[in-house]
Structure 1
């Protein structure tokens, strides 16, 4: 599961990392990104990497109602290559969703305590994502979902699922635009190991998507 994350770094750092020569609007830090909001993503157009904003919550091209996106913020990597909603996207519509940390909730002392998870040795994550375009008359939505996997030993104490974080050396392979066999993509994802992660407890204000400020990522004491 990945239901909230942050993007507090400079977008220019992402453009530099992915060798993207373009201007990008919307550079304000985000401390509590929630489903339904715009997220910075990277795709490959057949010639170059491109960055832009996609709506988080996949609305497949065949959907009758765009509200389905709120049920499709994550896709299980173990079965995505078999599911009609995701197989076609695994083959030809892969993207990177950029974040510098994500949140998870752990049951402690009878309540759910939020934790911020980050990688101390790198400035941001490249989440493995899928995207699609949905149209209905004049309405045009470009949306995405984050692929997840079973938790690694570090994450198990917080949650049984975690987002797939691409190794830097596999980022370009993931977004390269040529069509690939969905099963081969699935098999490759199983081999990717996440970076070293650390976590610390944060204030319960992060529970509400209405809160989006530095207080969402400040460390708190847990009694």
Structure 2
């Protein structure tokens, strides 16, 4: 599962890393070391551009960094009340489930992350780990997105939401949890973002090469509370010396 992660780079850096254009227009949140469901997050998308009259140019595509709300709301939903429960979509069923299949076929994105948090069961409490690449590179979490229209008075405004795909854990990730985010290797980025590719089934298997390069770092249980949000949450701590857990608003596994 992916229920918390860290997003530390600004849109300009992400745009350079993902060969995209920063289209956040000043709406991007600052660094977030404890991203929780329903927060605003940066995501990378690739679409056919439209002209001033809304006509789509099918001959080219544009890759951009945009801001989305974490927790998918299908376009047909009556309200946004279920968003916090739809932060993840299982890669095994994302092409079949009514809430996800249209987005999986037509609206895919990459959710950039410095790493994600996972909690390993233990005696009396769960030990949090920060799972991250060993360098300063950014993880490309496979995501899907949707547009839900919110009525505000006489106007309807779009709310763009997203979910992160998960898969069965492989390699060392199985030592912490039985699920993990689907992390895309660089050679899958273009295909995953391709707006004309409507069957991404071949892209849904986790990459062992990616997993083998990740580091599992035990961190403080301060991350349990979304009230805590600073770089120290990603710092390593000796196992067994973490602080007493704090209450949380969301489940940890």
TM-score interval, smaller chain: over 0.9
Shift of 1:122: 5.5
Q: Is the 8 A contact 2:29 2:40 kept in 1?
A: no
**Kept after mapping to 2: 8 A contact 1:78/1:186:** no
| TM-score, L = length of structure 1 | 0.92
2: CA distance, partners of 1:114 / 1:60? 31
The structural deviation recorded for 1:9 is: 2.9
Residues 191 and 151 from structure 1, CA distance in 2 versus in 1: closer, same or farther, beyond 3 angstroms?
closer
Query: How far apart, in 1, do the equivalents of 2:187 and 2:136 lie?
Result: 13
Deviation string 1:163-199 (CA, Å, 9 cap, x unpaired) is 0000111111111111413xxx123312644511111
Q: Give the alignment partner of residue 218 of structure 2, picking from 195, 201, 213.
A: 201
Residue number in structure 2 paired with 1:166: 184
TM-score by length of 2: 0.82
1:124 matched to 2:142? The reply is no
1:148 has 2:166 as partner? yes
Who is 1:67 aligned against?
81
Partner of 1:34: 36
CA RMSD of superposed structures (Å): 1.7
Match of 2:8 in 1: 8
Number of aligned residue pairs: 220
Cα distance per residue 1:16-43 (max 9 Å; x no partner): 1222244643363211000010111000
Which structure has the larger Rg over C-alpha atoms? 2
Unmatched tracts of structure 2, length 5 or more: 49-60, 241-253
**Against the structure 1 CA distance between its residues 217 and 45, is the aligned structure 2 distance closer, same or farther, given a 3 Å change threshold?**
same
Residues 61 and 83 (structure 1), Cα distance of their counterparts in 2 relative to 1, 3 Å cut: same
**Pairwise CA distance, 1:4:** 0.3
Q: Call closer, same or farther: CA 1:132–1:27 in 2, change over 3 Å.
A: closer
Over residues 193-213 of structure 1, what are the superposed CA-to-partner deviations in whole Å (9 max), with x where a residue is unaligned?
451111111111100111111
Higher relative contact order, chain-length normalized (CA < 8 Å, sep 6+): 1
Q: Is the 8 A contact 2:148 2:160 kept in 1?
A: yes
How many Å apart are 1:15 and its aligned residue?
0.8
The answer as to whether partners of 1:3 and 1:35 remain within 8 angstroms in 2 is yes
Structure 2 vs 1, CA of residues 28 and 43 (structure 1 numbering), >3 Å: closer, same or farther? same
